[in-house]
Amino acid sequence: MRKSIQAGIGLLALVAASAAPVAAQTPWLHVRVEEAKDASKVSVNLPLTVVEAVLRATPDLIESHGRIHFDREFDRAHGRHGLKLADLRRAWKELAAVGDAELVTVESDDENVKVVRKGDLVQVFVDHKPRTDKEGKVKKGAEQVRVEIPVSLVDALLSGEGEEANIEAAIVELKKRRGDIVRVQDDDSHVRVWIDEQNTQTPAPAGK
């Protein structure tokens, strides 16, 4: 009898031990939007499994097997010859060999844009300068956009063939990612997108 109870407790402990890490490691995508003017706060917390299903629910965007096909018809119809994904893939491979580098720098009257590869991250910095009217009054304040994309995520996105971006592989990579992905800050609003393993919005340490 005692052995049976011990065996039962052992079995329960084994089940609990095997179940606990699964629950703890569920990655959650969090979105937080705060607008001071409207005093509104929006928070969205979704398990990545649901995000994956939602992404599949956009058939116009994802045509088959989780791959985005770039809009060749649109380009043709509008006489445009944008950057082909295959070209981007080739360029990305060459950049991978270079290592850390400032990939893009654009400085203009309105904004500064910088794309940097640093370690395992591609960082995008966009700084919109405050806009003023003819009288010099500020029409719109400064705006800062910070986007951090893991290199492995770009690798996964570009792991398709031809003009296809591989969303399924990208989601697999996102599941491994923890920390901030996007931060947008302007004079009125604040947007933050991040991934962690909590089902509520206890902020993750900034930047990671």
Partner 1 sequence: MVKLAILLGVPIAMLATVASLGVVVVDVREGGPDGNHIVVPVPLVFAQAALAIAPMAAPVDKLRVPHEAAEHMGLAREVLEALAAAPDGEFVRVEERDQQVVITKEGRTLKVHVTGKRENVTVNVPLHLALQALPGPDGRIRTAALAGALSSVRFTDLVDVRDGNDHVRVWVW
Positions in the binding site for partner 1 (CB under 8 A): 23, 26, 28, 38-47, 49-50, 52-54, 56-57, 59, 199-200
C-beta closer to partner 1: residue 66 or 150? 66
> Is the CB of residue 57 less than 8 Å from the CB of residue 70?
no
116 versus 191: smaller Cβ distance to partner 1: 191
- Minimum CB distance to partner 1 smaller for 89 or for 175: 175
CB of 138 to partner 1, least distance (A): 25
Residue 11, Cβ density class (10 Å: 0-12 exposed, 13-18 middle, ≥19 buried): exposed
Comparison of 16 and 98: residue with beta carbon closer to partner 1: 16
| Cβ-contact 192, 35 below 8 angstroms | no
Shortest approach of partner 1 to residue 193 CB, angstroms? 15
Q: Which is nearer to partner 1, 43 or 144 (CB)?
A: 43
- Taking the complex as a whole, the smallest distance from the CB of residue 204 to partner 1 amounts, in Å, to 16
Cβ at position 40, least distance to partner 1 in Å: 5
Instruction: Give residue for tokens 């009288």.
Output: 135
**Region label for 99, one of left (φ > 0), alpha (ψ between -120 and 50) or beta (otherwise):** left
With tokens 């929006």, the residue in question is 42
Three-state SS string over 126-152 comes to EEECCEECCCCCEEECCEEEEEEEEHH
How is residue 3 annotated by DSSP? H
CB of 115 to partner 1, least distance (A): 32
39 SS3 class: coil
